[in-house]
């Protein structure tokens, strides 16, 4: 009886089986790991609870000789990141372990907002939801960014919220050194450093009552009384301690998320964080923001937008100036056509401190 002839596929199959260990090695060791992200189905309440639960969080290595604290940059955007090349220059390769970047990009925007590449390949594009100006959606998005950054890296000690219209006014090293500078008395006492948050908190404003009653009379009480209602810039830089407070907060949130009867007076993103931190920790914040905004000729609640014709080194120098202890680190609002001249003056002006 003749024996069956071997299958013509047998050598190929044998070679494939023998190659599996090599393929596994290359895919598991040489390919870059996927970016850290949270599952899309993770609801906000679960996210906030995880971020505020100390039993779930790894202990920070702050103080260890093997690591340094980092800054979490939180981009809140509903357009492409027009100034990504400038921020890429800001996030110099010389400081890869001193920052993390997170982006909340409105998923309802068409065309979809994609990672711009370059240094932003390190970016975490977090699971996002729709945002809309003058609604609680912007507050939720900011809290979502903060909670994700808390969970992602225990070394994130400052959380800087910026927009797609923001630009840096100094080099990264300058910003880092200013945020983490240590007072001499803190070193002498050898105690845990307690940095302040840079958030604008204003208690006197001509429109404060209209903003407070935008949801109706007596709607905010008893959780938020008028005398404790505050207003401030939407963009801030929080310490980790305050960031944890924000994601834990529930009491004020149930009031601020209520719908507004007068949307023209209702800018929740300018009220919620300032009101909460003013009451929760009266001495823990600087009272001003590090992001310069020009309100001199605002239109429909939007600040002045800088266009190509206004750009100059003198503008950058003037935007840096501050009457507070710290100079301004960032500025808004800039139109996309400003990118090229900003890049042209990046090394000679913006990042030359």
* 232-274: pLDDT as tens digits: 999 999 999 999 999 999 999 999 999 999 988 888 899 999 9
Q: Residue 264 has what pLDDT? A: 85
Dist. CA 3–CA 5, nearest whole Å:
6
- Highest-confidence range of 55-64, 116-125, 272-281, by mean pLDDT? 272-281
Residue 10, domain member (yes or no)? no
Taking the CA atoms of residue 215, residue 197, residue 44 and residue 254 in that order, the dihedral angle to the nearest 10 degrees is -30
Q: Residue 289 has what pLDDT? A: 97
Residue 93, domain member (yes or no)? yes
Residue 17 — pLDDT band, cuts 50, 70, 90? low
Q: Which residues pair with 161 in a beta bridge?
A: 74
Residue 188, domain member (yes or no)? no
Q: Residue 2 has what pLDDT? A: 52
Q: Do residues 81 and 164 touch, judged by C-beta distance below 8 A?
A: yes
Q: Tens digit of pLDDT for each residue in 205-237?
A: 999 999 999 999 999 999 999 999 999 999 999
Q: In angstroms, how far is the first alpha carbon of the chain from the final one?
A: 90
With helix as H, strand as E and coil as C, how does 126-185 read? CCCCCCCCCCHHHHHHHHHHHHHHHHHCCCEEEEEEEECCCEECCCHHHHHHHHCCCCHH
216: left (phi over 0), alpha (psi -120 to 50) or beta: left
Q: What is the DSSP letter of 72?
A: E
User: What average pLDDT does the segment 295-302 reach?
Assistant: 79
Range of the domain at 217: 44-56+64-183+194-350
Q: In angstroms, what is the C-alpha Rg of the chain? A: 24
Measured in degrees and rounded to the nearest 5, phi and psi for residue 222 equal -90, -5
160: pLDDT strictly greater than 70? yes
Residue 32, domain member (yes or no)? no
User: What average pLDDT does the segment 34-59 reach?
Assistant: 62
Q: Residue 12 has what pLDDT? A: 56
Q: Which residue has the tokens 């450093």?
A: 193
Q: Which residue has the tokens 């310490």?
A: 239
Q: Measured in whole angstroms, how far is the alpha carbon of residue 174 from the centre of its chain? A: 19
Q: Residue 286 has what pLDDT? A: 94
Q: Do residues 37 and 124 touch, judged by C-beta distance below 8 A?
A: yes
Dist. CA 254–CA 17, nearest whole Å:
59
Residue 39 — pLDDT band, cuts 50, 70, 90? very low
Residue 301, domain member (yes or no)? yes
Average pLDDT, the chain: 84
Q: Residue 24 has what pLDDT? A: 42
Into how many domains does the chain fold? 1
Q: Which residues pair with 238 in a beta bridge?
A: 159
Residue 20 — pLDDT band, cuts 50, 70, 90? low
Q: Are strands 285-287 and 167-168 parallel, antiparallel or unpaired?
A: unpaired
Tokens of 300: 């429909």
Residue 15, domain member (yes or no)? no
Residue 212, domain member (yes or no)? yes
Q: Do residues 187 and 235 touch, judged by C-beta distance below 8 A?
A: no
Q: Is the bond into 280 cis (omega within 30 degrees of 0)?
A: no
Q: Tens digit of pLDDT for each residue in 316-347?
A: 999 999 999 999 999 999 999 999 999 999 99
Q: Residue 116 has what pLDDT? A: 82
Q: Measured in whole angstroms, how far is the alpha carbon of residue 244 from the centre of its chain? A: 14
Q: Residue 72 has what pLDDT? A: 97
User: What average pLDDT does the segment 108-128 reach?
Assistant: 82
Instruction: Count other Cβ atoms within 10 Å, centred on residue 84.
Output: 19
Q: What is the DSSP letter of 312?
A: -
pLDDT more than 90, % of the chain: 63
Better-predicted residue by pLDDT, 27 or 57: 57
Closest-CA residue to 119 (of 161, 85, 153): 85
Residue 139, domain member (yes or no)? yes
Q: Which residues pair with 100 in a beta bridge?
A: 72
Q: Residue 35 has what pLDDT? A: 37
**In a 10 Å sphere around its CB, with 0-12 CB exposed, 13-18 middle and 19+ buried, how is residue 17 labelled?**
exposed
- Among 94-103, 142-151, 220-229, which stretch is predicted with the lowest mean pLDDT? 94-103
Q: Are strands 156-163 and 237-239 parallel, antiparallel or unpaired?
A: antiparallel
Q: What is the DSSP letter of 104?
A: E
């Amino acid at each position: 009886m003749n024996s069956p002839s071997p299958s013509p596929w047998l050598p190929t199959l044998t070679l494939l089986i023998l190659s599996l260990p090599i393929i596994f090695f290359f895919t598991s060791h040489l390919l870059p790991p996927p970016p850290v992200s949270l599952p899309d189905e993770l609801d906000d309440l679960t996210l906030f609870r995880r971020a505020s639960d100390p039993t779930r969080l790894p202990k920070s290595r702050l103080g260890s000789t093997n690591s340094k604290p980092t800054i979490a940059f939180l981009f809140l955007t509903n357009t492409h990141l027009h100034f990504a090349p400038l921020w890429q220059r800001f996030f110099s390769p010389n400081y890869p372990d001193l920052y993390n970047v997170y982006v909340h990009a409105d998923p309802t925007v068409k065309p979809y907002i994609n990672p711009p590449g370059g240094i932003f390949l390190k970016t975490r594009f977090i699971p996002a939801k729709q945002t809309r100006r003058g609604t609680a959606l912007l507050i939720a998005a900011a809290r979502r960014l903060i909670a994700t950054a808390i969970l992602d890296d225990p070394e994130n000690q400052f959380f800087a919220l910026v927009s797609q219209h923001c630009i840096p006014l100094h080099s990264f090293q300058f910003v880092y050194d200013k945020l983490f500078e240590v007072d001499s008395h803190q070193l002498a006492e050898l105690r845990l450093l307690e940095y302040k948050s840079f958030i604008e908190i204003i208690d006197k404003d001509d429109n404060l009552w209209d903003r407070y009653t935008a949801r109706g009379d007596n709607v905010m009480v008893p959780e938020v009384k008028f005398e404790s209602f505050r207003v401030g810039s939407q963009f801030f830089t929080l310490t980790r301690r305050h960031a944890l407070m924000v994601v834990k907060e529930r009491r004020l949130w149930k009031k601020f998320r209520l719908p507004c009867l007068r949307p023209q007076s209702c800018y929740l993103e300018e009220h919620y964080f300032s009101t909460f931190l003013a009451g929760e920790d009266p001495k823990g914040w600087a009272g001003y923001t590090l992001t310069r905004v020009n309100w001199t000729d605002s239109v429909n609640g939007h600040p002045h937008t800088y266009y190509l014709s206004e750009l100059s080194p003198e503008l950058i120098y003037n935007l840096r100036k501050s009457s507070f202890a710290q100079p301004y680190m960032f500025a808004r609002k800039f139109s996309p056509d400003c990118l090229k001249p900003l890049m042209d003056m990046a090394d000679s002006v913006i990042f030359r401190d």
